[in-house]
Structure 1
């Protein structure tokens, strides 16, 4: 028996040695490839070798690490296939399995791990360092935050890294270039539900946003009845939302809109605002916002303001507003010295032209108060560094950009989901802005496509790539499934048009589809028989993929709310897809001299009419209407196709008689 046990021991020892060698081979000899991280890190460099997490990992979290951050890393490891997560307090001399060390730079063990990795801690607010090195048969991955927020961002980056089968040895030093990044729920029409808001806060965490402004236009206690206290049940619901925001390291900002009825010089109105803020402070809110947009400022709401500030007008309004806002800022600091400064949106919130109102704000408004600005227009087609610099001069401080994209609550956006990538904002804006907040759509999950880009730009505008970030947003919605990702991108292309308040959109409709259809037109007009045949065959393949995309999206997306919000657009897409399939069949028949081409084109026309008649979900947006689907591109091609290749006249007569 002893001999048997000895033999088994030798065998096991040999196996252990072989296993160790195999691990070393996997971690050191696999080719390392630079991972795609979004938002793009400020600095990322590959090291030597690669790390396979394997089945067992040791996790060391310093005491100050938040439970939500530890849970995030644990979930990422579990999804990566790690079966055993052992908790330890000390670093071993020679790790034989991957060890993950996490904490802020205040923790000695984190500083030691960084030193072992030859790395230094990012020293910026919300900054973090990730250092991954191969150590013999094991690995050391250090997640080090400058502060708790930075550590949480490091965990979010690790979540992305762990989606790869192999993590390269690397060094990431990263921090946001803009201090404020996120969304303002400031659209008109149907508001988000509390469930929508909770999910949105979770999404914001994944893209390293840090701000959500609660400003729904339909909350009576924040707008029409702003002087009244919230009912206890509503306050409790808001308290739950604030707690969700805190767990996701997102600053919950409460916005109030007293402008239509406030008396700026009445101390009782100031006290109403202070009491409202105190009630919100009791449920954990520390950041506040006053909205003075979309109001009439050329007349006073009370006689006392006329007595105090003189005749009404833009300059007098600026002085009166500044007085009230300064008093609120002073009250906030008195009650909560560590609170962020008050944020406001002024009555003149767009362009940077010098006006008496802006001059009055610049001269009288407390310099700590943050001012929002929507750009060169309400929906600006582009924003340049000089534009932002002009706004800084006009308002006397760096402004916080309220970007009205992808909001779809105005006439020019009727019938549309706005799903184009975030573009035409100039790199370098981080030097002139306090941050960027996106005003999203009434549809929360579809809004994430554009918001991902907005936040990624605000995090690192100098390293931002619009198209790659757009792809990353699709992949995230699809849970990494490539087929669903491709279907989503095909759908996004049909909703690429980004309107403005004018007649010219700031992003064109369906650019990828247009390029493909233009290629078909060119092949038919200028190509020989082979080229025409190949182009029409390619069109047929595209039409089939287009038709199948809605079903793939419904089956493949992670959050089913996307399909619910986009239901009429997906339904219309299938109808248009079938119309395009019939159009391709008609072109093929015509190209082969087949008189059946007319029937194909006629059926395509009927389906196109059905698709055009489809309408948005009643009440889902402020302005509803017919669904727009690659309009000006797809509809024009289907209508023009019968004229591209001559169809037999007798067959055309027959089709007319069949109708």
Structure 2
């Protein structure tokens, strides 16, 4: 840092001697960090400052809501005067923003002036910025309404910088379907949670949200019954929020536990249920047949219609029902998106009689979901997806069970590791991907941001950088709050599976430091030992202080509330580690007070280990886990790392 400051000072002095002011210096143009990573980004020459006054030109065909969103973004960025115009000013004395579809003449003109061309892919856009004197030209061109909305989301990130670089971004998604499926067991999200989540999906350029909470009785156990009017109205408000965020709201029903596949009355009941949802603006539907018994029929009529129960017969029966639903959807709305289904065998790509029956009988238009090589797969490769394509007779829609935490081995955890171990190139073999999030909506955004960024641009995806972006986004770009969140994320890094081995390691950053402390103490060099203990003390302070920073109000309040017991436990573990460091320091110096420090550390560690999850917030209540197997083990081992020997 000192060298950089010295260099800048010398350069300013040189410019001054030459008769130019420091303000006139040409600062380097740096590549902005945009998430999801764009398909292509090319830097130009120069930068522009947004300032207080801009000209806004909305081309014909631009949705008024999209224009309103641009205005909102500009005002939040400090713009106080927005002048509208119908043509590009002859002199760009302030930033001029042109927004509209690729087909508009003024948009094509603006792109040409910026040396840019339109993106012609579905949901694609071009964003070009041209610096010119005190002003400049920013063009937002969308291939369609969705693409233009995505361009505005990129603008949102650009105006957060002090200066906007001259650049051209041409961008479009790699996967047609990207989003989340609220498909977990336990307490469903509140309508407020869902509203916040839909806004988040819009900002991350997602396009799909599937409403499928397992504990909504009217979608599963009482699927034949109509929704109460108040619930239907609340869902209608949610559908409108999704539409405003260019997110397709998909309603999922789970009739499998009780449906009679051959009964026309049940089929009509299901279609009436969809009709009621269509009345509040839902146009996309889903039939979930996961987590059901398919080795026995729910009614005798199915035995007559399809023969003895079994996997193959179940595949035939399910196909009959789903084909009828797909036909009804197409008849009512020829432009409707295809029906989505999740099969009973959703968790691998092995050949089976059930999959063969679906492959032979299921309408090819119907989208099939698949969770990968396991219910919670440790990794997913392109060959895995190719195997699924072969097994189901179509490219599948990935249901990724990360970061969902509704199963026993995830009890007591927030799953906050980066989204990783999914192979670049999956976009060639999938129709899309949906993340199944946690019961805690705001903490889910950490991993979901990765899922969405991967679905947008799997070949340009960087897991760690997206992880850091998620922290900054939750922290409102506050540096100190971002660092505090990353401390928490590291303590919740472990990602379990249904097997015995997790697919993400536990607390890798903390473990590396604690291993270093162990090695330094074992090595015996006094200077190295003291340096390591000092580093441990700083880490303990960071862990102990992070919860208060996260609660201070800069971080999204929903995150702080939903992570409350984890923050409580983390603070206690940090205090315990601080006392442990004090004990090691005392022992290294031959101070008999070390024993007292270690005893106090053990007492507080016991309190930390006893912190419980919020009752009813998750499927499996129980003690909160913070870097378990790493932090607790070090604190327990610490008294034996240095013998407490009084020195003269």
Matched, 1:439 2:475: no
Matched, 1:383 2:384: no
Q: Distance in 1 between matches of 2:604 and 2:218?
A: 47
SS in 1 for 2:639: helix
Q: Is the 8 A contact 2:37 2:460 kept in 1?
A: yes
Q: Distance in 2 between matches of 1:137 and 1:482?
A: 30
Q: Is the 8 A contact 1:99 1:140 kept in 2?
A: yes
Matched, 1:174 2:191: no
Q: Distance in 1 between matches of 2:472 and 2:226?
A: 43
- The residue aligned with 1:595 is 592
Residues 157-306 of structure 1 mapped to structure 2, 5 A cutoff: 157-306=154-303
Q: Distance in 1 between matches of 2:193 and 2:341?
A: 25
The structural deviation recorded for 1:65 is: 1.9
1:360 to 357, 361, 380: 357
The structural deviation recorded for 1:71 is: 2.6
Q: Is the 8 A contact 1:122 1:128 kept in 2?
A: yes
Deviations 1:249-292 (Å, cap 9, x if unpaired)?
00000000111111111111111111111111111111000000
Matched, 1:612 2:623: no
- The residue aligned with 1:117 is 114
Q: Distance in 2 between matches of 1:559 and 1:487?
A: 13
| Greater CA drift, 126-135 or 476-485 | 126-135
Q: Is the 8 A contact 1:184 1:440 kept in 2?
A: yes
Deviations 1:161-183 (Å, cap 9, x if unpaired)?
00000010000000000011110
Deviations 1:137-178 (Å, cap 9, x if unpaired)?
420100011000000000000000000000100000000000
Q: Is the 8 A contact 2:315 2:357 kept in 1?
A: yes
| Greater CA drift, 556-565 or 137-146 | 556-565
The structural deviation recorded for 1:575 is: 0.6
Q: Is the 8 A contact 1:543 1:578 kept in 2?
A: yes
Matched, 1:583 2:565: no
Q: Distance in 2 between matches of 1:312 and 1:239?
A: 39
- Structure 1: state its 5+ residue gaps: 1-21, 651-659
Q: Distance in 2 between matches of 1:642 and 1:341?
A: 63
1:486 to 483, 486, 497: 483
SS in 1 for 2:316: helix
Structure 1 residues 610 and 136, CA, compared in 2 at 3 Å: closer, same or farther?
closer
Q: Distance in 1 between matches of 2:493 and 2:633?
A: 16
Q: Distance in 2 between matches of 1:68 and 1:545?
A: 43
- The residue aligned with 1:80 is 77
The structural deviation recorded for 1:527 is: 4.5
Residues 643-654 of structure 1 mapped to structure 2, 5 A cutoff: 643-648=640-645
- The residue aligned with 1:502 is 499
- The residue aligned with 2:569 is 572
Deviations 1:368-398 (Å, cap 9, x if unpaired)?
1000000000000000000000000000011
Name the Cα RMSD after superposition: 1.5
- The residue aligned with 1:148 is 145
TM-score relative to the length of structure 2 = 0.95
Q: Distance in 2 between matches of 1:572 and 1:526?
A: 32
SS in 2 for 1:132: strand
Q: Distance in 1 between matches of 2:575 and 2:593?
A: 17
- The residue aligned with 1:16 is none
Matched, 1:471 2:468: yes
The structural deviation recorded for 1:465 is: 0.4
Q: Is the 8 A contact 2:202 2:247 kept in 1?
A: yes
The structural deviation recorded for 1:76 is: 2.1
Matched, 1:127 2:144: no
Residues 25-44 of structure 1 mapped to structure 2, 5 A cutoff: 29-44=26-41
Deviations 1:323-381 (Å, cap 9, x if unpaired)?
11011001001101111000000000011000000000001101110000000000000
Q: Distance in 1 between matches of 2:68 and 2:541?
A: 43
SS in 2 for 1:126: coil
Deviations 1:520-550 (Å, cap 9, x if unpaired)?
1111111511111111111111111111100
- The residue aligned with 2:105 is 108
SS in 1 for 2:45: strand
Query: After TM superposition, where is structure 1 displaced by more than 3 Å over at least 4 residues in a row?
Result: 22-26
Q: Distance in 2 between matches of 1:607 and 1:63?
A: 65
Q: Distance in 2 between matches of 1:589 and 1:243?
A: 62
Q: Is the 8 A contact 1:80 1:165 kept in 2?
A: no
The structural deviation recorded for 1:64 is: 2.2
TM-score relative to the length of structure 1 = 0.94
| Greater CA drift, 181-190 or 62-71 | 62-71
- The residue aligned with 1:408 is 405
Q: Is the 8 A contact 2:481 2:555 kept in 1?
A: no
Q: Distance in 2 between matches of 1:331 and 1:615?
A: 48
Deviations 1:589-630 (Å, cap 9, x if unpaired)?
111111111000000000001101111111110001111000
The structural deviation recorded for 1:556 is: 4.4
SS in 1 for 2:552: helix
- Structure 2: state its 5+ residue gaps: 1-19
Q: Is the 8 A contact 2:590 2:646 kept in 1?
A: no
- The residue aligned with 2:7 is none
- The residue aligned with 2:12 is none
Q: Is the 8 A contact 2:49 2:135 kept in 1?
A: no
SS in 1 for 2:495: coil
The structural deviation recorded for 1:30 is: 3.0
The structural deviation recorded for 1:235 is: 1.2
The structural deviation recorded for 1:94 is: 2.3
Q: Is the 8 A contact 1:24 1:138 kept in 2?
A: no
SS in 2 for 1:29: coil
Q: Is the 8 A contact 1:484 1:556 kept in 2?
A: no
Structure 1 residues 209 and 614, CA, compared in 2 at 3 Å: closer, same or farther?
same
| Greater CA drift, 122-131 or 295-304 | 295-304
1:621 to 618, 626, 640: 618
